[in-house]
Structure 1
Amino acid sequence: MGITARGIGLLVVAVLLLGVGFRFGYPELTLLGAAAGIAVAVAVVIAARRPRLAVHRRADPDRVARGEPATMTLTLRNAGRLRAASLLATDRCGDRVVPVPVLRLRPGADTTVRYDVPTVRRGVVPVGPLRVTRRDPLGLVVLARSYGDSVPVWVHPRIHPLSAVPTGAGRSLDGRVDAVPHGSITFDSLREYVVGDELRRVHWRTSARVGELMVRENVDTSLPRIVVLLDNRAAAHPDRVDGVAESFESACEAAASVVAAAVREDLPVALLFAAAAEPIPEPTAPTTPASSGSGMIDGPGVGPLDRLAAVSLAADGTLEAATARLRRDRLGDTLVVLTGPGSRDDLGYVGALRGAYPSVVVGVFGAAERTPPDAAGLVVVDAPDGAAFAAEWDGVRRW
């Protein structure tokens, strides 16, 4: 609660009039001073009365790709019995303040305002809470309160279609290494039935043709797994304008493109960061179904695209430590490392992973010169942005 300049002036006048009136015996001045003091007290009571307001907000959609439109619909309802007079409301959308017209809202009535959420930058845009300012009719006292919760709008990186997706190498139980497009319990051959075989494995059509029971013989194959390591270290992306590193934004777009391509092909994919990422805001369930046009593959909860929207550059961490974790854990068979111009001298650490990962691809963004083709014996894709990376990626013939 705060007293305006008008309220402070009136309170000072009230004290002076009461003092002069009592000191020199002027009842008229005393009466005026008392009236001024009562006016300030009444203003405090009016402003302190908390209006009953119900706030409902809906983002359409709440997950979008960078540059796509998103609209926030805010509905404010007067749930009290008294007219909500002299109210001023503003909603916070990222760094913007959006005015909400609620002046003299009748009991049971509501007002709705719609506005565009800025999506020009990747990130998580916090929207809300609604800030309602109440004033007394004379403008002596002002009191601001917050209503409703803050809702995040997830602005995902752009996704560029990739036609080439590495399937990796799958290992069967007998030690063979093959290119496996889809891993599971895979059919291998038919053999004669022996006592103890499960009847559900009997291949009835073949049994009817040969005149004896034949059962399916299956083999276990491992699922090919793609591991995407996004280098989010500040040292890897030294060129920044207004705190934004375009090379890092391009790397995020490339990571989103690889993840979306893997999901499209039903391949397991793991997204990792070179440096510790900041805590991710609590997500809300999407208000609209996933759209193939926007490349939205995340459902309720935190998915890879939500993580890419929330990740930022970090000052700690080294590429050597990140690659050491990858060598120890061996999370897959195809490794995609996406970094910036500041890590070109550290690609040797990535090259040392070729024994643990059969396929290693490195994407370098924002470098002034192209990386030598034999750098650490790696497949290196130099690209100025995410779109160029997608074009170069589809031209790679060896993984």
Structure 2
Amino acid sequence: MRLTARGAGLCAAAVVLLAVGLAFGYRHLVVLGTACVASLLFAAGYVWWRPRLTVARGVEPDRVMRGESSTVTLTVGNASRLRGATLVAHDRCGAASVPVPLLRLKAGGETTAQYPVPTDRRGVVAIGPLRVVRRDPLGLMALARGYGGTAQVWVYPRVHRLTAVPTGITRSLDGRDDRVPHGTITFDTLREYVVGDELRRVHWRTSARVGELMVREQLDTSLPRLAVLLDDRRRSYPDPERFEAACEAAASLVMAAFRDELPIALRLLSGRAAAGPSARDFLDVLAEADFAEMSGKSIEELRTQRVGDTLVYLTGDPDLTQVSTLRTAYPTLVAGVFGDARPALERIVVLAVRDGEEFAAAWDGVQRW
């Protein structure tokens, strides 16, 4: 509860009138001061009453690409059967406050309001709660309360179509690396039998030993696996727009991998990783990505725990010394550098570009991985 400018002036006037009236015996001033106090008490009691409101919020869609439209629909109802409500409401939408017309909401009535979500920037837009401000008729006091829950809208980076996909890699018996477009099946692990498994995959020796049917789980070892490492260090991006371009490149790689049904791993240099059966899980991480301060621990992890055949490193820092140590762990190493510098390193495919669209063109222009 807070005093408005008018309420603060009336409160000061009440103090002066009562002080002067009581000190010098002016009864008329005392009456006026008492009337001011009564007005303030009435205002406090009026705004303290809590209206019974129901708030339903819907967001459609809640996940969009940057620049696409998303709409919030608010339905606010007055659950009271006797009293109407004169209210002023604002809904929080990211950093903005959106006015919602709720003046003179009658008993049992409801109103619906819609407004667009700003999607011009990548990120997660927090929506709600609805902030309802109740004022007294004299405009002396105001009290704000929150109603309803909250929602979020994930604004994904723009996606640029990539047509080229690296081939898979498998090792031959004579030690050579063969690049193949299709997979080869190899044993991975054993698991318990479930209804629907083929009997020819049952491992009878292990089944006899443990007393339960165990089947062989097989894995395609030569499918191309993409590993994307996104540099999210603040010092790597003098211009924040370069980080947005790097996120667009990562999103484009994710969508290309899922389109061609290829395994992909996504990691941020700060340590966060994306995992899940759908592209949405990866794009959520990219929408939530922000600058962080760290030492690059993920590079050490990728060196000891190889997670793919082709590593794509996206950064705004032209210094690739640290990531160049991964050349022995990954047969193919691609560095997307967003900026003016054009570094060149042996055994690293360097794509020096300015934005996500240039990255897509440069990626498709690579003749051989």
TM-score (norm 1): 0.77
In the other structure, the counterpart of 2:312 is 336
In the other structure, the counterpart of 1:386 is 356
Question: What is the number of residues matched between the two proteins?
Answer: 342
The whole-number CA distance in structure 1 between the counterparts of 2:8 and 2:241 is: 51
1:254 corresponds to 2:232: no
Once the two structures are overlaid, the 10-residue window that deviates more, 385-394 or 145-154, is 145-154
Q: CA RMSD in A?
A: 3.1
Aligned residue identity for 1:391 = A
In the other structure, the counterpart of 1:398 is 368
In the other structure, the counterpart of 2:100 is 100
1:306 corresponds to 2:276: no
> 1:84-95 counterparts in 2 under 5 A?
84-95=84-95
When residues 169 and 53 of structure 1 are mapped into structure 2, their CA distance, relative to the original with a 3 A threshold, is same
The whole-number CA distance in structure 2 between the counterparts of 1:153 and 1:258 is: 22
1:297 corresponds to 2:296: no
Which residue of 322, 328, 338 corresponds with 1:365? 338
Matched-pair contact (CA < 8 Å) for 2:69–2:117: yes
Matched-pair contact (CA < 8 Å) for 2:131–2:145: yes
Matched-pair contact (CA < 8 Å) for 1:173–1:221: no
In the other structure, the counterpart of 1:207 is none
Aligned residue identity for 2:326 = L
Matched-pair contact (CA < 8 Å) for 2:14–2:34: yes
When residues 365 and 393 of structure 1 are mapped into structure 2, their CA distance, relative to the original with a 3 A threshold, is same
The whole-number CA distance in structure 2 between the counterparts of 1:140 and 1:155 is: 41
What SS does the aligned partner of 1:164 have? coil
When residues 349 and 168 of structure 1 are mapped into structure 2, their CA distance, relative to the original with a 3 A threshold, is farther
Question: 1:266 deviation in Å?
Answer: 1.3
The whole-number CA distance in structure 2 between the counterparts of 1:152 and 1:144 is: 22
When residues 234 and 31 of structure 1 are mapped into structure 2, their CA distance, relative to the original with a 3 A threshold, is closer
Q: Identity of paired residues, percent? A: 54
The whole-number CA distance in structure 2 between the counterparts of 1:199 and 1:28 is: 100
> For structure 1, which runs of at least 5 residues remain unmatched after alignment?
188-197, 203-216, 281-295
What SS does the aligned partner of 1:254 have? helix
The whole-number CA distance in structure 2 between the counterparts of 1:135 and 1:233 is: 47
Aligned residue identity for 2:332 = S
Question: 1:19 deviation in Å?
Answer: 4.9
When residues 172 and 73 of structure 1 are mapped into structure 2, their CA distance, relative to the original with a 3 A threshold, is farther
The whole-number CA distance in structure 2 between the counterparts of 1:221 and 1:174 is: 20
Aligned residue identity for 2:333 = V
What SS does the aligned partner of 2:41 have? helix
Residue-by-residue CA offset, 1:181-217 (whole Å, 9 max, x unaligned): 4557479xxxxxxxxxx98449xxxxxxxxxxxxxx9
Which residue of 332, 336, 350 corresponds with 2:323? 350
Question: 1:84 deviation in Å?
Answer: 4.0
What SS does the aligned partner of 2:165 have? coil
> 1:211-230 counterparts in 2 under 5 A?
220-222=219-221, 223-230=223-230
In the other structure, the counterpart of 2:124 is 124
What SS does the aligned partner of 2:321 have? helix
The whole-number CA distance in structure 2 between the counterparts of 1:117 and 1:329 is: 41
The whole-number CA distance in structure 2 between the counterparts of 1:12 and 1:237 is: 54
When residues 364 and 16 of structure 1 are mapped into structure 2, their CA distance, relative to the original with a 3 A threshold, is closer
TM-score (norm 2): 0.83
> For structure 2, which runs of at least 5 residues remain unmatched after alignment?
188-196, 202-215
1:165 corresponds to 2:153: no
In the other structure, the counterpart of 1:273 is 268
The whole-number CA distance in structure 1 between the counterparts of 2:14 and 2:51 is: 29
The whole-number CA distance in structure 2 between the counterparts of 1:338 and 1:16 is: 68
In the other structure, the counterpart of 1:290 is none
When residues 224 and 199 of structure 1 are mapped into structure 2, their CA distance, relative to the original with a 3 A threshold, is closer
Question: 1:160 deviation in Å?
Answer: 0.6
Matched-pair contact (CA < 8 Å) for 2:85–2:107: no
The whole-number CA distance in structure 1 between the counterparts of 2:337 and 2:23 is: 83
What SS does the aligned partner of 1:398 have? coil
What SS does the aligned partner of 2:335 have? strand
Question: 1:383 deviation in Å?
Answer: 1.4
What SS does the aligned partner of 1:250 have? helix
Matched-pair contact (CA < 8 Å) for 2:231–2:268: yes
Question: 1:176 deviation in Å?
Answer: 8.1
What SS does the aligned partner of 1:7 have? helix
Question: 1:43 deviation in Å?
Answer: 1.0
Residue-by-residue CA offset, 1:295-336 (whole Å, 9 max, x unaligned): x931xxxx1111111111223324xx4322211111121111
Question: 1:46 deviation in Å?
Answer: 0.9
In the other structure, the counterpart of 2:35 is 35
Aligned residue identity for 2:311 = L
The whole-number CA distance in structure 2 between the counterparts of 1:219 and 1:310 is: 35
Matched-pair contact (CA < 8 Å) for 2:271–2:298: no
